[in-house]
Amino acid sequence: MDIIEILKEDYQRFPQNQTYSIYAPGVYFQDPMNKFHGIERYKQMINFMQTWFLNIKMDLHNIQREGDLIKTEWTLSWNTPLPWKPRISISGWSELGLNSASLIVSHIDYWNCSRLDVLKQHFFSLN
């Protein structure tokens, strides 16, 4: 199956049953909260999200490949397990770098908001 199709399916069922075999063992991951190397650490981050966040949804808006770079545009949302269970939403994009074997060697996420904006969503409605 084509890596684009695999990624589309992974986004639809995120964070369950992700296809980790499309990542190189030493993949570099970065987002506004994390920066690390290794597929095992990536699995731990996904497991943390599954364990602590409620009703996680990843909406894929666009995906395209240009040579050895895949760019995705998405919105990630979840409920935080606070007593009032606020719905948090982050829109952004990812740049996935591929090696010659078409494995993802870098996964860098960018947010269309600040970390403070995300924190504020826990206490103030977006409306």
Report pLDDT digits (tens) over 11-70: 999 999 999 999 999 999 999 999 999 999 999 999 999 999 999 999 999 999 999 999
pTM over 0.85: yes
Q: What class, spelled out in words, does domain 3-121 have in CATH?
A: alpha beta
Please say whether the beta carbons of 38 and 25 come within 8 A.
yes
Output the six-digit token pair for 64.
């395209």
Residues 76-96: pLDDT tens digits? 999 999 999 999 999 999 999
First to last CA, the chain: 41
Residues 102-117: pLDDT tens digits? 999 999 999 999 999 9
Q: How many CB atoms lie within 10 A of CB 50?
A: 12
Q: Which residues contact 16 (CB under 8 A, 6 or more apart)?
A: 50
Q: Where are the domains of the chain?
A: 3-121
CA distances from 86 to 20, 36, 47, 89, 120 (A): 30, 28, 21, 10, 10
Output the six-digit token pair for 2.
């084509």
